Structure 1
C-alpha cells in the first residue's frame, strides 16, 4: 500500500486504483445527497430538489420520481417552475441557467434539458454586473427577469434564452425616476427580491439590499411607488390582492407597506420584531397569506434571538394568536407553502408547509390544530442517524408484513391524518414480485425497518437487551412473524456497560416459536 503514498503521477498506481476502487452507479433512489435548492409547481403538484453535485430530482405521488443531471458538476442554487407549464429553470453556482422539460416518450414521461444560457455583460464589465441573484419567471411563460449583484434587472426571452438588452432595468434608470432625497442615500447595491404583481403582469416589484423597494411599470418604464427601509432587505412577499407588501430584514424584523399611488411611503404600516427586543438573526424569507377566517398566516425563516438560539435552524408560523417555532436538527435549505392553486382565487388559504433541510423533508399540516407533521410516503432519510449495522431480508410472508405495518402505524400517532399533498403524476411501475425489508441499526439506538420504496415502516427505540424475538403464534404479542428471529446485538464499552447503538442485526428464518428473553426484550 506504500505505492499510494508516493508523490507524482504513477501510471501503474492509477491502474491499480481503478481496479480496486472503480464502481458503476446503477440506480439512485430516495432522499438526495447534499440538497441545495427547492422548487414546487402548484399546477403539477410536483416537488423539485437540486443538489450540490448538479442533480435535479422531481417527486410527485409515491412512485413518481424523475432525475436529471447537469453536464456541469456545479451546485443547483435555484429552481423555478414556469407557471402552468411542464417546464422548469435551474440556476447553477457557475451563473448558468438551464431549461428542463417533462416530455412523454412511448407513454412514459422523461425529464430532459432543452437549453442552457449564461448571462454576458458588456466588454470590460465587472463579473458582478451579470452575477444572478434572483430569477423571476413571468406569468406569460415567455420571459425571465434576472436580478443581479450590480442592481440591474435583465430580461431574457424563452425558450431560446435570448437576452433583450434594450429592455434591461438598470439601477441608473430606476435612480433617475426617484425623488432627490432618495438618490443620496445609496439605496441600491444588489437585487434581493423580484415579485410579479399578483393581479397585473405589467408590474414587478424590485427589492434592493440596502432597503429600497420599488414597483416598476414594464410598459411605461417608470416607478409607480417605492418604499425605503432603514434596515438591510432580505426578502419580500406580495399579498394576493396586491394591496400590501411585507418585507423582512437583517435585524430580525418584518414590515408591512400599503401599496398606494404615493410616490414615497415614509413609514411602514406596521413593523414587528417577533423575537425581540434583544438582537435577532435575519429573517431570510417570509410568507404573508390570507385566509377565510380573516387572520393571515405569517411564516418566516430565521429571526431567532442571537444569544440563545443563534445556532438553531427554525421556521416560525404565526396565526390567530398562536406562534410556533419549528426547530430542525439540520440546516434549512429552503421552504415553501402550499396554497390554493387557482391564481384567480381571492384568498390564499394555505394548507401545508414544506421544509427542505439537509437531512430531511418535512411537511406540516396547517389546517389541523397544533400543526402536526404529515407522515411522508417516501424521502425518509436513511442517514438521519449514522448507520452502525444493516441486514436485508427478502420474501417476507404477507402475515408478517401486515403486522409490521400495523405495529409501525401505532408508533406514528403523532402524525397528521392529511393525505400526502405532493401527489402529481401517476406511477406506472408494477407491484414488486416480493416483499423485502432493509433493517438498519443507528447510533441513536434505534432499529428501522425500510421497504423497497424507502418508507420507514417500523422503529424500535433504545434497545436495552441483546435480543428481540418476533413470534408467530402468541396473539398477545404486538408484532409476530412466521418462523423469524430478529436479534440486534449491542456493542459494549470498556467499562462493560452497553452503549447506545446496535453492533449487528441478524434475521434467522425458520426458528419456530420464540418467547421473550428477559425484561424489556420485547419489540415495543
Structure 2
C-alpha cells in the first residue's frame, strides 16, 4: 500500500490566535512569536484498481461518420448506423439508445420491421443481423453470414416476411425474416436481364416492390439496367436499358412511373406504358451549354425520392 507525505503549508497563521482577549503568551515582551513550522501527515491510500471502472455517462451530438439511416413511421424511431459498426436509435424525448456490432464492421443499410420493435442491419462484413428492440437494451436475435457474395442492397416490404438481398454479383436472394434463413428462391442476374445480353449488369443497387403489386420486384443494376421481376411466374415483366450508371431508383406512388438517378448527374423518368426510352431527362444541377444542346454533366446524384404534391 502506497504512502504519501503531505505537507500543509500556509494553512496556519503566522501568529497565535488571540482567544477571549487574553494576551498572547510570550517569554519576552516585545519579542515577536516564533513562526509555525509546516505540519507533516502520513496519508494512506486505500483505493485500488478494482474500485474503478470506466463507463460512458453521456453521449452528445450526431453519430460520428454516419453511413445509413432508417425510420419507423409508426413508432417514430430513427436509426443511424455508423462506419465503426454502431447504431443509435432516437425517438420521443428520453428515448436514446446505442448498440454496437462486435465485429466493428461499417453499417451499410438499416431496415425497420415497421411497428414490430425489430431492426435489420446489413454490415460491410457481409452479415445480416436481426435486432430485438422490445427490451431495455437491444440485442441480436439472429445473424446470417454471406460467404460467397458481397451484400450491396436490401429491401424489406411493409409487413412482409421476406427480406430481399442484392449482391455484388447481380443476384437477388430472399431471406425469411422469421427464421432468418435463406430460401431456395434466387433471382439470378442472367435470368433477369435479356437472354441475348452476355454483359454482366453489375451489382444490384436497388430493390423495391411495386406500389400496385407486392408480387413484383423492381431490380436496379449499376450498369443502367432496371428489371421488374414477377415473383410468382419467375420471369421479367419489362426491362429498361440506359447508357449511364444507376445510383438509385424511386417509384411514383401510383406505380405507373419511376425515376432513376445516374452517374452523370441526370434524372430519368420512365413510364411503364413505354419502357423503350425515358419520357423525361433532366439535369437539376447541370448548366445549359451555349449551343443549347444537352446540359453538361455534373456530379452523380446518389439518392432520388419521387415525391408529389396535391396539385400533381
User: TM-score range, shorter-chain basis?
Assistant: 0.7 to 0.9
* Cα deviation code 1:461-481 (max 9, x no counterpart): xxxxxxxxxxxxxxxxxxxxx
RMSD, matched Cα: 1.9
Match of residue 221 from structure 1: 234
Number of equivalences: 253
Q: 1:169 aligns with which of 187, 212, 230?
A: 187
Note if contact 1:147-1:154 (Cα within 8 Å) is conserved in structure 2: yes
**Relative to structure 1, is the Cα distance of residues 54 and 28 closer, same or farther in structure 2, using a 3 angstrom cutoff?**
farther
Greater RCO between the two (CA within 8 Å, min separation 6)? 1
How many Å apart are 1:207 and its aligned residue?
0.5
CA distance in 2, matches of 1:193, 1:56: 23
Correspondence 1:275-294 to 2 at 5 A = 275-276=285-286, 277-294=295-312
CA distance in 1, matches of 2:115, 2:210: 17
Note if contact 2:157-2:208 (Cα within 8 Å) is conserved in structure 1: no
TM-score, L = length of structure 2: 0.76
User: Partner of 1:201: helix, strand, or coil?
Assistant: strand
Which has the larger helix fraction?
1
CA distance in 2, matches of 1:118, 1:179: 31
Note if contact 1:197-1:205 (Cα within 8 Å) is conserved in structure 2: yes
Match of residue 85 from structure 1: 116
Q: 2:172 aligns with which of 130, 153, 167?
A: 153
* Cα deviation code 1:69-102 (max 9, x no counterpart): 2221222121111234211101111111111122
Match of residue 412 from structure 1: none
Note if contact 1:103-1:112 (Cα within 8 Å) is conserved in structure 2: no
Correspondence 1:263-278 to 2 at 5 A = 265-276=275-286, 277-278=295-296
Correspondence 1:15-94 to 2 at 5 A = 24-31=54-61, 32-94=63-125
How many Å apart are 1:23 and its aligned residue?
7.2
Correspondence 1:253-272 to 2 at 5 A = 253-260=266-273, 265-272=275-282
Structure 1: which 5+ runs fail to align? 1-18, 122-129, 295-524
Note if contact 1:83-1:141 (Cα within 8 Å) is conserved in structure 2: no
Match of residue 199 from structure 1: 212
* Cα deviation code 1:119-148 (max 9, x no counterpart): 234xxxxxxxx1000001133431111101
User: Partner of 1:285: helix, strand, or coil?
Assistant: coil
User: Partner of 1:287: helix, strand, or coil?
Assistant: coil
CA distance in 2, matches of 1:179, 1:118: 31
**Relative to structure 1, is the Cα distance of residues 156 and 253 closer, same or farther in structure 2, using a 3 angstrom cutoff?**
same
User: Partner of 1:280: helix, strand, or coil?
Assistant: coil
CA distance in 2, matches of 1:256, 1:187: 24
**Relative to structure 1, is the Cα distance of residues 280 and 209 closer, same or farther in structure 2, using a 3 angstrom cutoff?**
same
Note if contact 1:187-1:208 (Cα within 8 Å) is conserved in structure 2: no
CA distance in 2, matches of 1:63, 1:287: 31
Correspondence 1:314-463 to 2 at 5 A = none
